[in-house]
Structure 1
Amino acid sequence: MTDASANPLLLPSRLPYQLPDYAHIRPEHYLPAFELAFEEHLQEVAAITRVRSMPTFENTMVPLETSGQLLGDVARAFYTVSSSDATDEIQAVEEKLAPLMAAHEDAIQLDGQLYWRIKTLHDKLDTLELDAEQRYLVQRWYREMTHAGAGLDDDAKKRLTELNTQLSTLTTAFDKNLLADTNELAVVFDDASELAGLSDGELSAASQAATDRGLDGKYLVTLVLPTGHPYLSSLTDHGARERIMAASRTRASRGNDHDNRETLVQIVRLRAERAQLLGYASHAAYVTADETAGTPEAVHDLLRRLAVPAARNAHHEQAALQASAGSDITAADWAFYTEKVRQAQYAIDTTALRPWFEAERVLRDGVFYAATKLYGITFTERDDLQTYHPDARVFEVHNEDGSPQGLYILDLYTRDTKRGGAWMNSIVDQSALRGTKAVVVNNLNVSKPASGPTLLSFDEVNTLFHEFGHALHGLFATVTFPHFAGTEVFRDFVEFPSQVNEMWMLWPEVLENYAKHLETGEPLPADVVEKLHASESFNQGFETSEYLAAAWLDQAWHSLSREAAAADLDVAGFEASALADIGLDNPAVPTRYSSTYFQHVFSGGYSAGYYSYIWSEVLDADTVEWFKENGGLTRANGDRFRQRLLGVGGSKDPLEAYRDFRGRDADIAPLLKRRGLDG
């Protein structure tokens, strides 16, 4: 029996904002805590379904929303660690946990008695005296349980549970394989001369990474999640670029123990079978049915509409790059010659801007500064609060009136135990019903120099602003019910606030406050800023094409019917055929993620949903126009955006919230102009 007194996960946190007591949590604490939390949650739901009186909001929805609090606390604490610091012990816990979590979620979502109570309330919704959030809560629970299969017969539910359990195991295996192969494929260089073009800080990071693996005197370039590595734009040695690109593109497809090809095919097949069981033609149809897009056809129409001009622009860009190189170029050369052409056309080299992007200044005088100007919030670092890793820093967030808003945690640096990419997650969700405030985390994968300041690339600065937009969404959502907390919105809407926040990176008042030279303190020269703005649509053919290729690949896999998915599927052949179908099969412009390392869709939450970024960008680009038309970086604008969009969390239909903010539906024209697709 679990001894609650000896397990910090089972004791109320005594730390501010209920931050988990990571200083005392050990890997062996997680599974016992989950087991007790599962049982407690089941008992809480059983108490609801045992009520003999007819369902009311008070005897069904309120206790449902208070149930599972311990499980949510333990899960958020664990999954924060499993993504950011996945040691061997943590990975072992996750492998055991995956099928247990899937089974528990099914036990709640497929509970027939609970579903009957919620359906009864839903059927008489118009006769109930509920406020807007209460009414939407009933609608969403009914919709989500129906979508999950709660209305199926017992035999179908049994098969559905089997499928969900198998999928949880496979997606966990996909992630584990990818992390292991990514670490194995880190590229070792014997001499610094092979890495000519990198900054002193980047060389220092590569040297330290090699030392950390016992390779003293060598240099190790670790891989990032996307196909293209940031160093490709700087490295002057073509051979070095090719080695990094080759390592990136072969991840989890080398025929070794970490090969993901059979794993992903099994995932596709099981998802297709599950979709058919639930009454849908494909997994993509199943997913989009409960998103703002509605149907895969709507998604396909948008992607095809954008792919034609994107591919055309990419070919024009390729011709310019080849003229600069004096020969044909490969995918490994694109970023390098892009900077050459950018410099020739706009007299600007983004790789030379790092001295103006010192990480601490970007954070405090850029990201935080913009948030303070817009929303009046302030940030105080809490060195007294310990998180799950020494690199993760804690900041307390206060409103302009001094009231506490929550905690923000930044985990900036890459490490072998951290999955690739960048993301935001919550450790504690805000809820008035539970009396909690938000604790949110931003993770990036910036190389940590052995000593001295951290200088960010242009793209890394943009990523920090982007992820902080997610953090603001999580911090600002002010709801009663935890079901709507933070970023709990439709998947194809969740990227909208983060993309909007990117605009402040180059906003004049913000840029001049943080972009100051590390050594001289001089601001980024005005002519450079003008060139950055002038070149905003530069290379957009490539960037749009590589993104659309990945989004289409996701749709292609997940648009397969059960019968089509059961065929003999060759991963490389399927990819080639899918990309040719949409006209994005240019070898020099590889997909941002190939299938075997497409973590978003085969182990993350974006299956059949990677289109969400461009779908949300329609709203984002239209919103940027609104800010420009209404005075930009002002408290009035920030308050409107916070109250009408960020603050509602998931408690309102997102498109209704957008119309409330904008006064109309979004216009696609600003997006087409931004990406140079309006010609």
Structure 2
Amino acid sequence: MSNALLSASTLPYELPDFAAFSDDAYLPAFEAGMQEQLAEISAVTANPDPADFANTIAALERSGQALARVSAVFFNLVMSHATEAVQAIEQQIGPRLAAHQDGIFQDQTLFERVGSVPETDLDEEERRLLAEYRRRFLRAGAGLDDAGKARMRELNTRLSELGTAFSQKLLADTNASALEVDDAAELDGLSPDDIAAAAAAARDAGSGAKYLLSLILPTPQPALARLTDRRTRQRLFEASANRGFRDNEHGTLGIAAEMAALRAERAALLGYGSHAEYAVEDQTAPSLGAVREMLARLVPPAVRNAETEAGKLRAAAAGDGIKDLQPWDWAYYSEQVRREEYSVDLEALRPWFELERVLNDGVFYAANRLYGITFTERRDLAGYHPDVRVWEVRNEDGSALGLFLGDYFARDTKSGGAWMNELVSQSRLLDRRPVVVNNLNISKPADGEPVLLSFDEVVTAFHEFGHALHGLFSDVGYPLFSGTAVPRDFVEYPSQVNEMWMLWPEVAAHFARHYQTGEPLPQETLDRIRAASLWGEGFRTAEYLGATLLDLAWHSLPPAETVTDPAAFEKEALTRAGIDPALVPPRYRTGYFKHIFAGGYSAAYYSYIWSEVLDADTVQWFTENGGLTRANGEAFRSKLLSRGYAADPLESFRELRGRNADITALLARRGLA
């Protein structure tokens, strides 16, 4: 029986033909794809001709196309639409794929053949690709003896199983922990649209309650800034902060502790002192010590700023008779202070942030002004869920660039947070243009109601589209270097830069218009938002640093040390690092820290602020050079966004900026100077 997953799609840009796929086709497609790639690898190792770039490295890049297709489709579903059937398949296929990768990168014959490829007569991208393959073989354990390789395979298989289990238990606990409310009075402070959406969520979930407040991934929940009922705020905060910590079928702490121990053992096999050392070697940061040095520089002023903010919040809370400021009070009174001191109420801005305007007149408009690209919605093309929309993207001269998919609404089969995936990666070798997708988790309103975004959701839309541009503009020869396939501590840089356009005067004036009257958001309001930008930065920086330091604590464990009390370990690690979790809880606690236990950011969550050094410096460059201009857009696209990993990322930055990055702009942005 033919399997549509195994053949290149005939749709434009090879957009996967989702309607042709059935759940029972995935496992056979994975098995066939793995067998096909193994046969292709065998042909490489059996080649009697001397190894060269074309018959070895380029051949490896061509191998596994069917497996890459099914993996891109399936693992997008794992994050975006993880039905019970998809979760069952993930449990089975994850360990097999880990073993498959080990089989390739621990193949001694292939390792030796790659090592014998001559470096003469290669261009820059080819030399980088050859070096990258050699490095990946070594990091996968190709240099170990047979016993070491066997143990490495065992570790990778178990880590794959645990990562899947963490993700699935977290999704289940996030759904189970959604806050049930029966009395609308307990939701005082939320807008009528939000209350209607909560009622619709309760109906859709089959809840016995009248209202349901779903949870997003980070610790802070948006409703905490608006709920006037302190008991409701407490219930919502505790529902969020206790995910994974309960001793039930959804508990994730034991998984996290085992994963940290296994990663430490794997690092030791390869000669590293910790998983953090192993992970940072793969990044742009020069060393783990350099990362720790930067964080140590940031923590004291961030905590001081947070303590100063807390003083103002205590004074505001005292007006309500509250003497003991708690974490569930922070967002609520922070918004009060923002309103009183800066005359800014971020939640009152929702009517000016309607989704269609945000997309077409904001996100797409800024990209058109900078890069000349245009967007045409393709209603004839379907995504993997009815909520998914498809746009064709073209260059200024009308030439084809790729497809952009948008999946904006939350659902109980979708992971929390926001992200970008590549369904088709650009490659000149394979003659492919990119197909990328952005996922957000906006609460879907009741039927007929407008989709009004929070301020933070608009920031997220611009951020994730920065990742999309990184994928769409990719112009590299080889798949391994395509788009966002760059080090973790560089991948967030382009997306963070793209956030700047949200409040750029020309862009904000174009999209921030009242959904009923069309009136623009007053300039004085935009000015006040900018003036208030440092308010709350102490809390935001401290909560981020708390998560970062927690990540490094878990992944700096020495081999053979297993944490028996993860909750106590978490508290001690944060306190030792100078973060008071009672004052500022980390953005992610261990139980729901999906980035590091099921998302590829282990020992790399620092990358957001490491990238922000480059981002803040680049924002300064745009501002110095005239801002939203085609010349600036073309320079950023050609010198950085288009290069993927085919060039050294920091060298690309230096070519754009004319020098190394300077941390001064970041310190000023976060009020840490």
Determine if the TM-score, normalized by the shorter chain, exceeds 0.5: yes
Q: Map 1:63-102; keep pairs closer than 5 Å.
A: 63-102=59-98
Deviations 1:413-453 (A, max 9, x none): 00000001000010000111101110001000010001211
- TM alignment of 1:196-207, pairs within 5 A: 196-207=188-199
SS of alignment partner, residue 440 of structure 1: strand
Match runs of 1:249-264 below 5 Å: 249-264=241-256
Following TM superposition, by how much is the alpha carbon of 1:295 offset from its aligned partner in structure 2, in angstroms?
Answer: 2.2
- 1:141 — aligned with what? 133
Q: Which residue of 2 aligns with 1:187?
A: 179
Q: Is the 8 A contact 2:267 2:275 kept in 1?
A: yes
The one-letter code sitting in structure 2 at the alignment partner of 1:106 is D
Indicate yes or no: 2:403 matched with 1:397.
Answer: no
| Residue 423 (str. 1) matches residue 415 (str. 2) | no
Cα distance per residue 1:50-99 (max 9 Å; x no partner): 11222111111111111111111110010111110000000000000111
Q: Of residues 602, 615, 634 in structure 2, which corresponds to 1:620?
A: 615
Q: Hey, which bits of structure 1, 4+ residues long, moved more than 6 A? A: none
- What is aligned with 1:496? 493
Question: Any conservation in 2 of the 1:232–1:332 contact (CA below 8 Å)?
Answer: yes
- 1:504-583 equivalences under 5 Å are 504-563=501-560, 565-566=561-562, 568-583=563-578
For the 8 Å contact 2:181–2:209, the answer to whether it is kept is no
Q: Does 1:668 align with 2:663?
A: yes
CA contact (8 A) 2:180 2:209 kept: no
Once residues 444 and 215 of structure 1 are traced to their aligned partners in structure 2, the CA distance between those partners, rounded to angstroms, is: 24
Q: CA deviation at 1:294?
A: 3.2
- Map 1:209-608 → 2, pairs under 5 A: 209-215=201-207, 218-326=210-318, 327-451=323-447, 452-563=449-560, 565-566=561-562, 568-608=563-603
Contact between 1:201 and 1:454, CA under 8 Å: does it hold in 2? no
Which residue is equivalent to 1:157?
A: 149
Does the 8 Å contact 2:7/2:66 carry over to 1?
Answer: no
Give the 3-state SS of the residue equivalent to 2:585 in structure 1: coil
Deviations 1:615-649 (A, max 9, x none): 00000000000000000000000000000100001
Determine if the alignment matches structure 1 residue 647 to structure 2 residue 642: yes
Output one character per residue of 1:366-414: Cα deviation in whole Å (capped at 9) or x when no partner: 0000000000000000111111100011000000100110000000000
Contact 2:244-2:252 at 8 Å conserved across structures: yes
Matched, 1:169 2:164: no
Shift of the alpha carbon at 1:217? Answer: 6.7
Contact 1:86 1:418 in 2 (8 A): yes
AA at the equivalent of 1:385: L
In structure 1, what is the Cα distance between the partners aligned to 2:243 and 2:649? 37
Q: Which AA in structure 2 matches 1:355?
A: P
Identify the residue that residue 7 of structure 2 maps to in structure 1: 11
After superposition, give the CA deviation of every residue in 1:271-306 in whole Å (9 maximum; x if it has no partner): 000000011000000000111113221111111110
Give, as a single letter, the amino acid of the residue that structure 1 aligns with 2:376. T
Identity %: 55
Report how far residue 537 of structure 1 moved.
1.1
Preserved CA contact (<8 Å) 1:334 1:588: no
Amino acid at match of 1:298: A
Question: How far 1:520 sits from its partner (Å)?
Answer: 1.5
Deviation at 1:215, TM superposition (A): 3.4
8 Å Cα contact 1:412/1:445 also seen in 2: yes
C-alpha distance after superposition, 1:126-163 (max 9, x if no partner)? xx111111111111111121122111111111110000
SS in 2 for 1:536: coil
Deviation at 1:342, TM superposition (A): 0.5
1:53 & 1:432 partners in 2: Cα distance? 25
SS of 1:538 mapped into structure 2: coil
One-letter amino acid of the structure 1 residue matched with residue 639 of structure 2: R
Q: Is the 8 A contact 2:484 2:491 kept in 1?
A: yes
Deviations for 1:518-554, whole angstroms, at most 9, x for unmatched residues? 1111111111111011011111000000000000000
What root-mean-square deviation, in Å, do the aligned CA atoms of Structure 1 and Structure 2 show? 1.0
Once residues 519 and 72 of structure 1 are traced to their aligned partners in structure 2, the CA distance between those partners, rounded to angstroms, is: 46
Distance 2:193 2:459 in 1: 19
- The CA deviation string for residues 489-541 of structure 1, in whole angstroms up to 9 with x for no partner, is 01110000000000000000000000001111111111111101101111100
Which runs of structure 2 are paired with 1:633-644 in the superposition (5 Å)?
Answer: 633-644=628-639
> Is the 8 Å Cα contact of residues 422 and 435 (structure 2) preserved in structure 1?
yes
Secondary structure at 1:468 match in 2: helix
After TM superposition, give the deviation of residue 569 of structure 1 in Å.
Answer: 2.7
Cα deviation, 1:317-345, whole Å, max 9, x if unaligned, reads 00001111113311111111011001111
19, 36, 43: which one pairs with 2:39?
Answer: 43
The total of aligned residue pairs comes to: 668
What TM-score do you get using the length of structure 2 for normalisation?
Answer: 0.98
Gaps of 5+ in 1: none
- 2:646 and 2:477 map into 1 onto residues whose CA distance is 9
- Amino acid across the alignment from 1:49: T
Residue identity matched to 2:93: L
Provide the rounded CA distance (Å) in 2 between the counterparts of 1:267 and 1:488: 24
CA contact (8 A) 2:571 2:581 kept: no
Counterpart mapping for 1:122-137 below 5 A = 124-125=118-119, 128-137=120-129
Give distance in 1, aligned partners of 2:589 and 2:495. Answer: 24
Normalised to the residue count of structure 1, the TM-score between the two structures is 0.97
Q: CA deviation at 1:21?
A: 1.1
**Alpha-carbon deviation of 1:40?**
0.3
Following the alignment from structure 1 to structure 2, what is the Cα–Cα distance between the partners of residues 289 and 62? 25
Give 1:114 deviation, angstroms: 1.5
Q: Distance in 2 between matches of 1:413 and 1:479?
A: 32
Q: Which amino acid aligns with 2:469?
A: L
Structure 1 contact 433–480 (Cα < 8 Å) conserved: yes
Gaps of 5+ in 2: none
Range 172-181 or range 199-208, more displaced = 199-208
Q: Is structure 2 residue 103 aligned with structure 1 residue 111? A: no
Contact 1:171 1:603 survives alignment (8 Å): yes
Using the TM superposition, give the Cα deviation of residue 671 of structure 1 relative to its aligned residue in structure 2, in angstroms: 0.1
**Aligned counterparts of 2:266 and 2:433: Cα–Cα separation in 1:** 37
Q: Secondary structure at the match of 1:493?
A: helix
Rounded Cα–Cα distance in structure 2 between residues aligned with 1:531 and 1:114: 61
> Does 1:24 pair with 2:20?
yes
The 3 A distance-change label for structure 1 pair 619 and 209 is: same
